[in-house]
Every structure is written in C-alpha cells, then in structure tokens.
Chain A
C-alpha cells in the first residue's frame, strides 16, 4: 500500500482513493450479485409479541415444549428472536402523544421486547438457551457446539438515528425488519415468523371474513400487490427486495402444535415466500 499526497490531503492508494462515494459509477464498482455467505445453515425463528406472548401461558408454554423437542435434533442450528407486542404499541401512543421525535420513540421500544426475551429465556434456560448480546454473532458457532439456543435482539439499533418515516410518526425499522436484516446479513437459510394466523392473507383476517390465505408465492409476485394490512412490517419486504442472500421467509401459526417443527424441516406449511435468483 502506498501513501499518496500532493493535493494537501494524505491518501492511501485503493480503488476508491480520492473518489466520491456518492458517485453512482464508483459505487457500482463495489457491488456484485452475491455476498460471502457467513452462516448459511442457520434458521432464525421469530416469536410474535401480540400474537403469542400477549396471550400468556396458554400460548407460550406449548410453544416452549415444541422448541424443546426441536432442540433434541442436535444438528439443527436455531436462533430465536421475539416481538414486543401490545406494550410496544402502548409505549408509542404515550411517546407520540408527548411529541417525542421518531428517533426518541425508536430508542424506547426495544425495552418492551426485551421483556419477552427474558421471559422466553427463563423458560428455555433449563434446556439450554442464552440471550445473545447485540453484535455477538461471531459466538454463534460456540453456542451451537454447546447445544445452546441463542435469543437475539430483534429491534435494530437505529435508535436516536431512526430516519424520518415515509408516512406518519412511527419508526419504520421495527423488530420484523431487524430480524430480517439479521438473517440477510448473516445469509441464513430461512426466517420463520410464528404468529397467531395460518400465514399471510390478502387482507387482515381478523377484520375481514373473506380474507384469503396466500400459501406459496415469490417475493416478486407478492410485491406486485403487497397486502397493506400486513402481518409483517412492510419495511421488511422493501428491504428484502434489494437484498441478496435470504431466499425463504415463512409465516406459521404458533397456536397450532407442530407447525413450527414442520417449517424448520423445510415443509411448506403456512405462508412461504421465496425470493428467486438468490444463491
């Protein structure tokens, strides 16, 4: 490597030396259609806040039992994330009534899902689980070797720096997006959302009796008519559209015993969304 001067600035020679990182042509030189794949055999499972945890014991304990059975397969590499549920919505309504900035709201909400993470970890700990610290992904191989199931933080660390939302005042980058991004950057095998519906419908099945379940669909087809009343954050789909690594997102019903286990085996239960032309 060479140190280059002459214009008053000291540069290190590289492809990007002196270049504007806003220049589209310069940026294009840095990209390719693939990423190095970090953990391609790991599955990420998200357990819903409103849909599961807010229902209490009757919904949580059967799912914990199912997770314990799933963990019996020592080859399965599993990371769990959780949603925050109704307390997140309560936090936001108070914070927005107070007029806090969007970054302030984003900074607050993570604490509510952390409560669910602690609850779940308390119940799973006797069978081997541990909270995963924010960026400690590099410990994952150790966790798996030891038979420990890590429980990751779902809300992304956008915090005070949450960008202004496209509409309204609610932060755009919530826990669904956070877990998506975790699965994407680590190029995981699949991301499974455990909810209280059989999957994604064309409109909210809790409000519309004629809502239709979408069983298997490509991301491209789904984006043509993306359901606006969506069981997942819309930001997830937008980010996934310009992503490179994650191929499969599945939504299953956590109130139906066995659905999560079947999804982890690769069965098409619930809703399966596939991004084509990755890997």
Chain B
C-alpha cells in the first residue's frame, strides 16, 4: 500500500492531540498597546443615552490623546429575551450561540453610528486584520463582543446558554492582540463583598485574583466563568479591569492605564 507523503516539520510526527515540546515557542505580541474595551449590554447600553453619551465622550477624549481603543459591545436584555424563548423550545446551544450574535451586533452598530464623526468604524470578525489600518488612521473600531463560534459553541453541563459570550470575546480579543489588560465598562465600581444592589453594607474590593475568586466558589460571578478558567493559562491577558461607566472620569482614567474600579489578576 501507499505511504503517507509527509512534509518534514517539527510537528510532522505529531498527532496534535497532546502537548508540543518539539518547538521552542517564543511568542510575539500582535498589538500590545491596544486598549480592548467592553461596553456592557444590560449595564450600559440598555440604559440608553443618559449612561452611554458621557462614556463615549471619554472614549473620544482618550482617542484624541493618542490612546488606541477598540470597543466591543455586549448584549443585554434582548439577548436574555431570545435566550429565554430559545430555551423553552429546547434549541441546541450552538443555535442559541448563533442567535446570541445578533444583539451585540446591533449594539456595536449603534455605537458606530454615534462615533462615526469621530472615526467610529464597524468591524466584523473577518475584518480583524484591518485593525492596524483603522488605528493608524485614528479611528475607533467597534465590533460585537460575541466570539464567532456560533453553531460550534459547546454545550456546557447544567446550562443551555452559550458559555462563551461577550466577556469571553473581549478577553480572547485582548489575548490574541497581546494586550495585558481587558477593560469592562459596567454600572458598578467592580466587585463587592455582596451584591450592592441588594445589600447596602457591601464593601468594594479594589483588587483580587482569579484564585481568590475561585476559592470563594460563588454561585454568581462578575464575568463569564470560562474567562476565569482561561486567564491563568493565558499568555498575555492577565488582568481584567471593571470600571463604573456611570461615574464621570472612570473610563478615561482606565484608558490612561490607572487602576480604578476593580482589578482581577491571574
């Protein structure tokens, strides 16, 4: 019988199923200076103009200072609505993840329209390679936070909701670009000892680690679980910063690199 015709390479004998020790891997950061920023769906966009406009002013101010910003949009209440109906219908997770792409996409388009006169550019996942052009031109690229997994999103036991949503997309974008920190703009100062919307004596946590969060084994979390699972083994993105977009000055401070809000490190 014939032979496999193999191209000689460090991995040619590999099954690609285990660890690869054959290569001395010295990673290169793609665009490490870019600030990867999520604008929350439920926390910001569903509040409309009152919450969003001041945040955009600060993003524009940062851009004018020469800070390179990429905005990624979250979903919010419309995502929850379609997830709820799809769950009743027992729609597979991969289809639910595909449905979940549309709302962050709408939100990203809204952001683009508002930022257009300041260089707002809407990007699809396939446009990701054009990022250097947009940033060198001084633009503010805007895209959906949802990663493009869609029908290929895995089912996670105990949930029909896709485990990779817009937090994951933001973290994974930062990781690919080689950015150390991903910034999440929400409607709270970050982490608290308890839910501040329900318990007024809850106190703010300025800094914590993925390990500490895991040790608490909370039934609820501030970011998607997979992000905390991935961070310790990430190559570049080792910090998540959660800032309060409703407090004037926080977004600009975060974009300047200041440690406002809560920092979660791995």
Contact = CB atoms under 8 A, between A and B. Distances in A.
B202 interface: no
A163 to B, nearest CB: 5
Interface stretch (A18-26, A71-79, A114-122): A18-26
B19 interface: yes
A185 B220 contact: no
A9 B92 contact: no
A162 B235 CA distance: 13
B17 to A, nearest CB: 5
A44 to B, nearest CB: 13
Given A16-B80, A22-B222, A31-B160, A10 B85 contact: no
Contact of A99 (B3, B27, B93): B27
Interface in A1-23: 1, 8-12, 14-23
B14 A15 contact: no
A94 B9 contact: yes
A181 B20 contact: no
B144 to A, nearest CB: 11
Contact of B154 (A90, A167, A181): A181
Given A98-B28, A169-B23, A32 B172 contact: no
Contacts of B150: 135, 157
B50 A8 contact: yes
Given A21-B165, A164-B235, A89 B149 contact: no
B125 A160 contact: yes
B19 A168 contact: yes
Contact of A89 (B9, B92, B168): B9
Interface string A82-122: 00001111101110111111111000000000000000000
B215 interface: no
Contacts, number: 262
B216 interface: no
A148 interface: no
Contact of B80 (A17, A185, A242, A244): A17
Given A17-B77, A103-B176, A160-B128, A55 B4 contact: yes
Contacts of A233: 16-17
B200 interface: no
B110 interface: no
Interface string A142-171: 000000000000001111111111111110
A12 B176 CA distance: 34
Interface residues of B, number: 90
B101 to A, nearest CB: 11
B130 interface: no
Interface stretch (A34-42, A208-216, A217-225, A261-269): A34-42
Contact of A11 (B77, B87, B91, B160): B77
A101 to B, nearest CB: 5
Given A22-B225, A35-B90, A228 B173 contact: no
Interface stretch (B40-48, B113-121, B257-265): B40-48
A30 B83 contact: yes
A232 B18 CA distance: 11
Interface string A193-218: 00010000000100000000000000
A26 B9 CA distance: 48
Interface in B13-43: 14-30, 42-43
Contacts of B51: 8
Contacts of B4: 50-51, 54-55, 86, 196
Interface stretch (B57-65, B204-212, B226-234, B248-256): B226-234
B151 A137 contact: yes
10 contacts: A21-B161, A23-B220, A32-B90, A50-B4, A55-B3, A86-B9, A101-B175, A104-B176, A181-B152, A229-B18
Interface of A: 1, 8-12, 14-25, 27-32, 34-36, 38, 50-51, 54-56, 58-59, 86-90, 92-94, 96-104, 135, 137, 156-170, 173-174, 178, 181-182, 184-185, 187, 196, 204, 228-234, 239, 242-245, 255
Interface of B: 1-7, 9-12, 14-30, 42-43, 46-48, 50-51, 77-78, 80-81, 83-85, 87, 89-95, 98, 125, 128, 147-152, 154-161, 164-165, 168-169, 172-173, 175-176, 178, 187, 219-226, 230, 233-236
